[in-house]
């Protein structure tokens, strides 16, 4: 393949990475394409299959060496507190009556959770409630 085709491949990989994946895998593959482009431009007479072998080997090496540090640097962990943030706003139903600021059990998506009433009014068994926040494995509920 000609050197400029490797540049095009690298640019396409980088563009897809920036716009879609954000996990640095295509970034690493794009870097290896740029390296193969540089080597291809500087050397002459190398067979096409050697370029593909170099591209595959470099892709694996760069993925192993750079991907994890890049993710750690640019995508810091949100911590365990953010693990269940997707449940905020979901509907849960208490298994028993929950007094104001009381603790009990509630059903959410077919599972039983520890629940705390965050409102100043008690919640009845089976009443529709919204998840206000998640603290550990405890749902903070408020009446709809």
The string of pLDDT tens digits covering residues 35-81 is 999 999 999 877 889 999 999 999 999 999 998 888 888 876 666 55
Q: Write the burial class of residue 117 (CB in 10 Å: 0-12 exposed, 13-18 middle, 19+ buried).
A: buried
Q: Write the burial class of residue 94 (CB in 10 Å: 0-12 exposed, 13-18 middle, 19+ buried).
A: buried
Residue 34 has pLDDT above 70, yes or no: yes
Range(s) of the chain covered by CATH 2.40.50.140: 81-143
Q: Helix/strand/coil (H, E, C) string of the chain?
A: CCHHHHHHHHHHHHHHHHHHHCCCHHHHHHHHHHHHHHHHHHCCCCCHHHHHHHHHHHHHHHHHHHHHHHHHHHCCCCCHHHCCHHHCCCEEEECCCECCCCEEEEEECCEEEEEEECCCCCECCCCCEEEEEEECCEEEEEEC
Rounded Cα distance, 137 and 131, in Å: 12
Is the CATH code 2.40.50.140 the one for domain 81-143?
yes
Question: According to the model, what pLDDT value does residue 70 have?
Answer: 86
Q: Confidence band (pLDDT; 50, 70, 90) for 23?
A: confident
Residue 48 neighbours by CB distance under 10 Å: 10
Q: Confidence band (pLDDT; 50, 70, 90) for 82?
A: low
């Amino acid at each position: 393949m000609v050197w400029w085709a490797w540049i095009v491949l690298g640019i396409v990989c980088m563009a897809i990475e920036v716009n879609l994946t954000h996990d640095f895998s295509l970034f690493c593959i794009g870097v290896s394409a740029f390296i193969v482009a540089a080597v291809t431009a500087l050397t002459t007479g190398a067979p096409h299959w050697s370029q593909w072998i170099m591209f595959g080997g470099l892709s694996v090496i760069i993925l192993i060496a750079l991907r994890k540090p890049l993710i750690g640097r640019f995508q810091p962990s949100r911590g365990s507190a953010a693990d269940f943030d997707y449940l905020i706003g979901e509907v849960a139903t208490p298994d028993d009556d929950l007094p104001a600021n009381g603790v009990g059990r509630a059903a959410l998506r077919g599972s039983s959770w520890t629940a705390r009433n965050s409102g100043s009014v008690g919640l009845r068994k089976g009443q529709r409630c919204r998840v206000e926040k998640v603290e550990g494995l405890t749902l903070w509920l408020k009446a709809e």
